[in-house]
Amino acid sequence: MFAIDDVVVATKGIDLGQMVVTGLSSGGYYVHVKVDGMSLTYPARDLKKA
């Protein structure tokens, strides 16, 4: 599981380098991240800790 402010990278989909976790969905299936001023949402299974 991820926590707020963890640094993660995508294992699937678009790789934007290191991203910072800004939030989690209520079920934990999706992770909200921020990179280069953009806020994105990734499935938790497509991310790993950097």
Q: What is the pLDDT of residue 11?
A: 95
Q: Please check whether residue 16 is in contact with residue 34, taking contact to mean a CB–CB distance below 8 angstroms.
A: no
Q: What is the pLDDT of residue 9?
A: 97
Going from N- to C-terminal start, the domains of the chain cover: 4-43
Neighbours of 42 (CB within 10 A): 20
Q: What is the pLDDT of residue 47?
A: 96
Q: What is the pLDDT of residue 15?
A: 84
Q: What is the pLDDT of residue 1?
A: 85
2-44 confidence digits (pLDDT tens): 999 999 999 998 889 999 999 999 888 999 999 999 999 999 9
Find all residues with CB under 8 Å of 6, minimum gap 6, and list them: 20, 21, 49
